[in-house]
Amino acid sequence: MTVETFTDTAPDELNVSLPASGDSRTEGDNHLRNIKNVIKTTFANVSGPVTSSEAELNYVDISALGTWQAGKALTAAVTSGAIECSSLAMSNINIDSGDITGVSYAGGTVTGSLTWNAAQNLNSQALTNVNIDSGNIASAVVLADGITATTQTSTDDSTKLATTAFVHDVVKVTAVYDGGTGVTYTAANQAITASNHSLGGAPDIVNCIAECLSADLGYSAGDRVHIGYVYDVSGTTIGASCWGNATQVGGRVGGALWIPNKSTGNQGTASTSSKWKLLVTAIRFV
């Protein structure tokens, strides 16, 4: 009779041909001990009945550790490296700690509580019912209610901040007329000659401007002063008024053109010796 000699006490070392017919019965106890040793060594941590079927046990039969296969169980405690899960549809995943990096999220729905402790790239992701309790959103693009713009400029006021909160349109300047060449001031009641503008319609704002041509009343050449049409204490009209229509702007000086001194604020009559130029500026809004 021959009894197996074991190296690893593993099932593959058992010889199913032993004991052979005619072997001594006195060595039968050796065979029984070998069988027990193999079972206890192979299932060293099994302390109760194993009720899994052969199909369920085969779930853990994967070709390589750290990978997954369709129809197989995946249980891993990875301390370094990565588990290859490409094309894997996963549900009811609970990640208690650690990081998920380099993830490409192609679609589906994320529900429940989701917490990120580091910066995330959510390009091209459609998010609904998002509640951000803390943290920062930097360089974000917010789209809502049919807004198709992907960037927001300082002059774009059309973006709606939320489905129930809106920003009113600000006035946009369509065109500006700078007054053209203007006319040199010479005397009271002088007309500011009508000039053609190209605003595309009647202006919303017209301004009478006196531009200094040479030093006078504390002003330097190139200084521009806004002037209005008022009455002095004696009832004399002073300053100038201006007008505009769909094609032209113009104006007229009152009984005198008075401009406060730039340095002191005292009233002084603007020089009649060609030191001021009169012009009408205009702005049109939409």
**Total domains, the chain:** 1
> The whole model's pTM is what?
0.41
Q: Which is more confidently placed, 89 or 241?
A: 241
In a domain, 17, yes or no: no
Is residue 88 a contact partner of residue 69, using CB atoms and an 8 Å limit?
no
| Domain at 188, CATH number | 2.60.40
Query: For the chain, what is the radius of gyration of the CA atoms?
Result: 46
Is residue 165 a contact partner of residue 150, using CB atoms and an 8 Å limit?
no
The reported pLDDT for the residue numbered 162 is: 44
DSSP 212-255: ESS-BTTB-TT-EEEE-EEE-TTS-EEEEEEEE-SSEEEEEE-S
In a domain, 49, yes or no: no
In a domain, 112, yes or no: no
Mean per-residue pLDDT for 53-66? 79
Report the DSSP pairing between strands 267-269 and 173-177: unpaired
The reported pLDDT for the residue numbered 31 is: 87
In a domain, 188, yes or no: yes
The reported pLDDT for the residue numbered 258 is: 85
Q: Which is more confidently placed, 78 or 242?
A: 242
Mean per-residue pLDDT for 30-49? 91
In a domain, 69, yes or no: no
- Residues 37-46 have pLDDT tens digits of 999 999 999 9
In a domain, 163, yes or no: no
Read off the pLDDT band of 251 (50, 70, 90).
very high
Mean per-residue pLDDT for 45-64? 85
Range of the domain at 232: 175-285
Mean per-residue pLDDT for 262-275? 80
In a domain, 31, yes or no: no
The reported pLDDT for the residue numbered 185 is: 92
The reported pLDDT for the residue numbered 226 is: 92
Q: Which is more confidently placed, 125 or 165?
A: 125
Q: What is the mean pLDDT of the chain?
A: 78
- Residues 85-137 have pLDDT tens digits of 666 666 667 666 666 666 555 566 666 666 666 677 777 776 777 777 776 66
Tokens of 24: 């001594």
- Residues 64-90 have pLDDT tens digits of 766 667 777 666 655 566 666 666 666
Amino acid at the residue 42:
T
Q: Is pLDDT at 250 greater than 90 in this prediction?
A: yes
d(CA 19, CA 4): 9
In a domain, 90, yes or no: no
